Structure 1
């Protein structure tokens, strides 16, 4: 990583963008889960989804606090990514409770995979925050077990949820590519972190991350008893 003031300022801008998209992702997840909880089939399920929503908001607060430490207004950091994230959620409105569960699970796990991959290319402090947010298995485990229970109770859900999971993955990858193209901050991070790297190298790294995310998703679907 460069040591000039220009290099430092550029890298700080990359990190602020990264935290901006993370913050809005966590905030929108909180809003979405809070709304979806209303359609829970039982009060227990409503409480479970409500707890997961709280976890998402706690993550938002962690990222927001980090941005504040950097002297960056969290709203200004999030605004450039609001349209892309909102577009993703508009295109992936669940039809019922079960699709809501699957969406929460896929978004949670795919975003975690993506940010863990990005963490390889950033400074230790930024990596630590990413790991702190993405290392929690509480929400992931609850969603996974609830999906397993739903599929055991009604095996007819399998084909529909498998298809829905594939669509969610495709939409998530498309969103990541759109954000990367519009803002180019991930490519810049890769080039900055890898001495001698070029834009072509960055694109290749992004393809590798996308393939890794897709492989992980397929494996998780198989563990649920669904085709990846």
Structure 2
């Protein structure tokens, strides 16, 4: 079935998922910026937060154009995504940037896989709001600086990253396979039918990111 034949519900579901993710990212970054060790890095994270709320507005406007209230589209994802963030509160700046690097990247990978089945303009919109390489570059530099300042931090951050990816995959599994059938249809229509295979690719990409940051997988 071509992408244009996908049910409108699936498009709304994915846009609602991404929109709520952007809203939460804005809130989290705005709070985590206060953990920054200096004003330069505080401002950097604040600028990233501003970008997230801009992305949210683009998605909300698209949902409205489709005749859907953004609140209604986001509502199914409040519980699983909020549960992830509530269970993974960073204790310091190093944990905050590691969470942004690990958690946001694996979420982006998940969304990118599903978005492959969307028709335009929604496919490009979703891809546009995913984090670019400068976002990851900033986080990697901060993680490496923390490890260089105190090599013992590497073990703690590696354990923290493993916890983050476990929590993220658990919640992503709830979203993709159990709670929103339309999203499962999107995975199938993208040509990647098996959800276990999808999560295998997510895990492999995570391992590469851990190596890039100098952490143990």
> Under a length normalisation based on structure 1, what TM-score does the superposition of the two structures give?
0.88
Aligned to 2:109: 113
Query: Offset of 1:119 from its aligned partner?
Result: 2.0
Q: Is the 8 A contact 2:13 2:183 kept in 1?
A: no
Gapped regions of structure 2 (runs ≥ 5): none
**Which one scores higher on RCO, CA 8 angstroms, separation ≥ 6?**
2
d(CA) in 2 for partners of 1:42, 1:116: 33
SS at match of 1:94: coil
Aligned to 2:142: 146
Q: Is the 8 A contact 2:15 2:126 kept in 1?
A: no
Moved more, 160-169 or 132-141: 132-141
For residue 182 of structure 1, the aligned residue among 173, 179, 184 is 179
d(CA) in 2 for partners of 1:2, 1:227: 41
d(CA) in 2 for partners of 1:191, 1:148: 38
Q: Is the 8 A contact 2:110 2:202 kept in 1?
A: yes
Query: Offset of 1:2 from its aligned partner?
Result: 7.1
Q: Is the 8 A contact 2:158 2:215 kept in 1?
A: yes
Deviations 1:161-189 (A, max 9, x none): 01111110110000011112112222122
Gapped regions of structure 1 (runs ≥ 5): 195-200
d(CA) in 2 for partners of 1:125, 1:152: 44
Aligned to 1:92: 88
For residue 26 of structure 1, the aligned residue among 22, 29, 38 is 22
The equivalences for 1:62-211 within 5 A come to 62-134=58-130, 136-180=132-176, 181-192=178-189, 202=193, 204=194, 206-211=195-200
Aligned to 2:51: 55
Q: State how many pairs are aligned.
A: 216
Query: Offset of 1:58 from its aligned partner?
Result: 1.4
d(CA) in 1 for partners of 2:160, 2:197: 24
Aligned to 2:35: 39
d(CA) in 1 for partners of 2:57, 2:117: 23
Runs of 4+ in 1 over 3 A off after TM superposition: 190-194
RMSD in angstroms over aligned alpha carbons?
Answer: 1.9
Aligned to 1:198: none
d(CA) in 2 for partners of 1:107, 1:59: 18
Deviations 1:41-98 (A, max 9, x none): 1111111111111111111112112112211111111111111111111111112221
